[in-house]
Amino acid sequence: MDIKEIQNLIKFVAKSGASEVKLEMDDIKITIRTGSETGDVTYVSQAAPMQMAPAQQAAPMQQAAPAAAPAAPAPEAAPAASNDKYITVKSPIIGTFYRKASPDKPAFVEVGDSIKEGDTLCIIEAMKLFNEIESEVSGTIVKVLIDDSSPVEFDQPLFLVDPS
């Protein structure tokens, strides 16, 4: 397993929403913790996910355990616990949520709109840096969970999308 594969694995685990995955192969044992234990105060987990990854990657060999099967690839946006039918789009960063590119433009999406993978759903602005949030699925916007111009935390649900 080379560094690239380990990096990809870390990314996969981080995206899956799992808090810990242990993997054991012929000559290698890997434990990946995403550091997003529930119950933590939010500002702890607002650390950008990739800043943690290299640190963990530096010490990949830890105690072994039965391989947590990497299961079927989880949908990119982790499904919400309750609305199993819908996909929840969450904020990847802390910042301010904007539904429009600028005040005089229409909203990127409205409830009932059909969206394609890659469509921009909103902008999260932080520190004068503008971040377009793209949809990872195609479907229909079921609900907009945040008011325009409101502050959002890392991992806060923003939209519900019906992928069917």
Binding site for other proteins (CB under 8 A): 11, 14-15, 46-51, 53-54, 76-77, 92-94, 102-103, 118, 120, 124, 126-134, 136
For 98, the enclosing helix (H) or strand (E) is strand 95-98
Least gap, CB of 23 to other proteins (angstroms): 20
Tally Cβ neighbours within 10 Å of residue 163. Answer: 16
- Torsion angle of C-alpha atoms 36, 39, 40, 46, degrees rounded to 10: 50
Distance CA 164, CA 155 (A): 23
Query: What is the greatest pairwise CA distance in the chain?
Result: 59
Q: β-pairing, 87-90 with 157-162?
A: antiparallel
Least gap, CB of 68 to other proteins (angstroms): 19
Least gap, CB of 108 to other proteins (angstroms): 12
Least gap, CB of 106 to other proteins (angstroms): 16
